[in-house]
Amino acid sequence: MPGRVPSRSTRTSAAVSHKSSAQTLNSRASTTSRISSTSIEVPEESPDNELRTQIASIFRDAQRTTASHRKLVINLRKIQEACCYEPTSAKNKKTGAEDFDEEQFTTEFTRCVVRVMPVKKSESVGERAIRFIGLFLKHANEKDNELNENEDETTGVMVETPSTRLTTTLMNTVLPLLTSKEKFVRFRSTQLISHVINSLEAIDDDLFQLLRHGLLKRIHDKEAMVRVQAVLGLGRLAGNEAEGEAEDSDDDSGAGLLDKLLDVLQNDPSADVRRSLLVNLPILPNTLPFLLERARDQDPATRRALYSRLLPALGDFRHLSLSMREKLLRWGLRDRDENVRKAAGKLFRERWIEDCAGAGEPEEAEAVEGADAPNSEAKGPSFDGLLELLERIDVINSGVENGVALEAMKGFWEGRPDYRDSITFDDYFWETLSAEAVFIARSFNDFCRNGENGKYEALIEEKMPEVTKLAYYLHRYTTVLVEAIKRIAAQEPTEDVEEEDTVEQEFIVEQLLHIAQTLDYSDEVGRRKMFALLRQSLSIPDLPEEVTKLTIEALRGICAADAAGEREFCSIVLEAVADVHDTIMDEPSSEDADESFHSAKSEVSDDAGGLGKKSETSEQDDQEKAVREIMVNMKCLHIVQCMLENVEGNLQQNAHLVAMLNNLVVPAVRSHEAPVRERGLLCLGLCSLLDKSLAEENLTLFMHFFSKGHSALQITALQILTDILNQHGAHLLDTNPTLLKVYLKALKSGSKSPEVQAAATVAVSKLMLGRVIADSSTSIDDLLKTLIVLYFDPSTAHNQGVRQTLSYFLPVYCFSRKENQDRMRKVALDAMHKLFEIQETMDDDGEAEFEMVGLGTIGAHLVDWTDPRKCYIPGNQLTLSDESAKKAVNGDVHLYFARDLLEKLDSGISREEKKTIAPLLAKLHISPASTESLIRELYDEVSAAIEEKLIADATGRNALFKIHVSLGKIVNSLVEKAPVTGGRKSSVTPSVVDEEQTVMAIEGDAEVESEKTELVKVEEEEDSEGTAIADVDAKATRDSLVESLLEDSDVEMTG
């Protein structure tokens, strides 16, 4: 009878185990030399017996299907009981295992388990066998605990049972396999240990430490599949330790284990490992931030797992902080992967709403993931819960123009038809509006109006108020807002409650104005009422800027869309500007006089000090008057700016706009006050978009603001100049050559102001993609070269705006037109030279903050951007997916690129730079469909470069040989197709053959290659004479043909 497995030596186990592994994995020829590389321990074979037959039969059946596992587990448990326990009754049915003891059962069971270890991951029998082993151990431990229930309760210590001894023996046998050199053995052993850990309720303390130590070594295994199984087991152990089951103070304590797993969660390169940890790590206050940051994981499946599995299991979302709720919602709903967006939307409209709607239910029921959907269907809509949900995501801040609340509510209305159908907006709702309530109405209105094919238009007619009623509520809440603003302005607030109330009132008015912009104004009564209300509201000087903007947009929607409607709109707005100007300049003066009068009063009248007080009062009045002037100009200019953003007609044909320009905008630009001047500049830029002559006159002014202004003003000036060029065409660049220098200066201003550099990059990209900068422009090459250098320059590594813009622009620009690819080809080598100089400077300094991309990678990018196979061809884009069609593309751009490379290599550049650009020759695409003459010329130039030994290093020379062979094959095929005699054909073929041989040549064969080249030259000279004779014969034949044709034509004419 063999001894127990753990008692055997490591050397013996290694040899025996590899034999088993080799049989399973189809041994190779080198098996004998690798016998010691594994550590599978297989017990010595003993003669077959009835116990082995029964256990082996059960394991064989367990591999076939999981459906019979429960029955097989019971059968195996009966065999274990027969071996380990004395029979309690003679009537019990015999199993045939009564003659064997516990040690033999353990040996045979372990023998079958060890044979599962070498099974490959792709084999499903391995998964089924391990599931069976875990299920049996769980069942056996439960049965033993039932038999020893009384002892366990009295002592409070884990009682040793046959199943615990079996588990310990099995784990001690499998643990050495964790360090096997065979990856599948490590995988299966780690999988088995993790599965057993997650199956059992309790494990012996000593075994617990051994398993933990063994699995910790596997979290850094080179195979991702092993690391996945290791973290599955350690996640359970970490959860137990964090609950206080292990309170050691050494590095391997619970906190140390959690720290290691969190480090793996953040840094493991395998998405499967990160996803397994995300789902299996315990949710604790110190682990939750690390788990939630997986919402920004690179892997879409991991991000989706966070929204579909972790967050629903987290319980009540209200335990999260407000900022974290908003981030999770924004990241999920704006994710680039559609499945992540769906999971985030489902979380919001099903889980989070139920957390708010069913607050009275126990949290245990909420944590169950699968039971939520049917409960949510049965509960019915809860609008109090919806109001609380919007409050929990801070709708006042997240419900603005670019906030995430609108996207969340759009998905909510789409996915919850029960709320959509049962919601009502009665009079009480409108009279008691809160920020959350009005946002519900606004989001519902937007969803119904933007539905596909007017699918939900009937809901608007049924639930939303008519124009007259909405105008009434808008007037009511606008009045409340203005009164609150005046009340706060009149007295210094001692508390923030009033200010918060003002913010909420402002939000309510904004949402009502958003609804007003979408209404149908075919009802003339409602249209007039709303028109008058908006005109009246616009004249209120205390109206906040955002409300003013929305009021003007709503007013533009009410006016007609034609030129007459636009003139009416401008006249109404400018009348409001005049009213605001008069109100601010007149009313405060009387108030100030009042205040100065009251402040001058005293309980005892003193005439002697009157003159001094009067002078002080006059200075104060002058100062307050100046402040009022700035205020009135800023307010009026903001109204004008909002108006100009909604106007499209010609400036000169609108007398109201001309008057506004002369009386308000031009004086503002000349103002000495910086805020007024900057806003006036913005309005002047908007006016320039409406009039070409005005734009031409003020280009110099905008450039002056760019050169003299601060960063924010420079960005504004750049945006204005770019909009003018896009609106009025590129001829402005020809009349103002210094304009492009402004863009070049802005592109190179990264060290001083990276924001300006990012804005200039966006501007130049738009101008070049839109072909506003003409192909014939002298500065377009400089701009493109500057953009290429910026993309790879380490100094822009921190400026993500520049990098992100260029990562989109450069490939799109090149692949959109052949001309653009050719321009990229022209500037590519100059840009490479500039980047080479930058790299040399960095190497000399040795203190670079960011490492530069290798020049080989940069060259590969440039070759890829000029690849003719990727260029868009109108009408032929669908056929370019075929390989044959790609080969037929004209590749002249890469042939010219090759000529440029040869010229650069022959221009006396340094040896190091030659090493960087010479390998690019091998990356070029040589197309047989290119221009024939260009192919022949380039072939001659490459042949000459080989003869002159232009390139010294082996890599560059091999690249030159490669392009020579490619060109030679094409030239040879062209000669074969040409209608000439075979003399010329034979002169090229040997050259091609020779060059194919030189590709594999080493440096020592250079003399032999030159001799071959000389022989080829002699052959070509000899053949050239034959070619000349053939040409004479061809000419004679041609003359005779012409004569015969002339004769035939004469006959036909005379006939």
Say what the pLDDT of residue 528 is: 93
Residue 342 predicted with pLDDT over 90: yes
Answer whether 677's CB lies under 8 Å from 671's CB.
yes
Q: Which pLDDT tens digit goes with each residue over 626-663?
A: 888 888 889 999 999 999 999 988 899 889 999 999 99
| 487-507 average pLDDT score | 72
pLDDT grade for 555, boundaries at 50, 70 and 90: very high
Which of 110-124, 156-170, 490-504 shows the highest mean pLDDT? 110-124
Closest CA to 173 of 196, 152, 154: 196
> Positive or negative, the Cα torsion across 732, 735, 741, 744?
positive
* Per-residue model confidence (pLDDT) at position 950: 86
Residue 173, pLDDT above cutoff 70: yes
pLDDT tens-digit series, residues 595-618: 443 443 444 344 444 545 555 677
Taking residues 333-344, what's their average pLDDT? Answer: 95
Residue indicated by tokens 């910790």: 216
Position 492 scores a pLDDT of 60
Tokens of 566: 């636009």
Which residues are within 8 A (CB) of 1015 and not within 5 positions of it... i.e. 6 or more apart? 990
Determine the distance from the C-alpha atom of residue 842 to the mean position of all C-alpha atoms in its chain, rounded to a whole number: 31
Nearest to 963 by CA among 896, 904, 898: 898
Most confident by average pLDDT, 81-90, 375-384, 501-510, 598-607: 501-510
Residue 255 pLDDT > 90: no
Q: Tell whether the model's pLDDT for residue 475 goes beyond 50.
A: yes
Residue 87 banded pLDDT, cuts 50, 70, 90: low
| pLDDT over 50 (residue 39) | no
Provide DSSP, 702-747. HHHHHHHS-HHHHHHHHHHHHHHHHHH-THHHHH-THHHHHHHHHH
- pLDDT for residue 152: 53
Q: What is the pLDDT of residue 949?
A: 87
Q: Residue 92: which pLDDT band, with cuts at 50, 70 and 90?
A: low
pLDDT for the residue numbered 494: 52
Q: Is the predicted pLDDT of residue 290 greater than 60, yes or no?
A: yes
* CA atoms within 13 A of residue 352's CA, in its CB half-sphere: 29
Q: How far apart are CA 926 and CA 267, in angstroms?
A: 43
Q: How far apart are CA 944 and CA 951, in angstroms?
A: 12
Least confident piece of the model among 190-204, 212-226, 1027-1041: 1027-1041
pLDDT of residue 616: 63
**Rounded Cα distance, 140 and 972, in Å:** 79
Does residue 984 register a pLDDT over 60?
no
Nearest-10 Cα torsion for 544, 550, 554, 556: 100
pLDDT at residue number 550: 95
Which token pair is 122? 């792709």
Helix (H) or strand (E) holding 161: none
Structure token digits, residue 686: 């908007």
Report pLDDT for 153.
Answer: 54
pLDDT at 866: 93
The reported pLDDT for the residue numbered 976 is 79
Instruction: Identify the top-confidence range among 200-204, 698-702, 986-990.
Output: 698-702
Rounded mean pLDDT, 549-573: 91
Q: According to the model, what pLDDT value does residue 251 have? A: 45
Please state which of the ranges 58-62, 323-327, 623-627 shows the lowest mean pLDDT: 623-627
Asked if 937 contacts 950 with a C-beta cutoff of 8 angstroms, the reply is no
Nearest to 638 by CA among 692, 674, 679, 671: 679
Is residue 530 within 8 A of residue 516, CB to CB? The reply is yes
Residue 534 pLDDT greater than 60, yes or no: yes
What is the pLDDT confidence band of residue 156, given thresholds at 50, 70 and 90? low
First-last CA distance in the chain = 119
Task: With a cut of 80, say whether residue 374 has pLDDT above it.
Answer: no
How far is it, in rounded angstroms, from Cα 880 to Cα 868? 11
Question: Are the CB atoms for 87 and 93 separated by under 8 Å?
Answer: no
Q: Return the number of other C-beta atoms located less than 10 Å from residue 903's C-beta.
A: 11
**pLDDT recorded at residue 698:** 92
The SS3 assignment for 680 reads: helix
Q: Which residue has the higher pLDDT, 361 or 31?
A: 361
Instruction: Give the pLDDT band of residue 998 (cuts 50, 70, 90).
Output: very low
Give the C-alpha separation, 777 to 734, whole Å: 8
Q: Print burial letters for 57-83: b (CB count within 10 Å at least 16), e (below 16).
A: ebbeebbeeeeebeebbebbbebbbbb
**What would the DSSP string read from start to end of 429-495?**
HHHT--HHHHHHHHHHHHHHHTSGGGTTHHHHHHHS--HHHHHHHHHHHHHHHHHHHHHHHHS--SS
Query: Residue range 62-73: average pLDDT?
Result: 92
Tokens 């003409």, located at residue: 774
Q: In whole numbers, what is the pLDDT of the chain averaged over residues?
A: 80
687 neighbors 666 (Cβ within 8 angstroms): no
Pick from 279-283, 357-361, 458-462, 777-781: least confident: 357-361
Among 373-377, 771-775, 937-941, the range scoring the smallest mean pLDDT is 373-377
User: Poorest-confidence range of 20-29, 222-231, 268-277, 498-507?
Assistant: 20-29
CA–CA dist 297, 554 (Å, integer): 42
- Which of 532-546, 576-590, 914-928 is the least confident region? 576-590
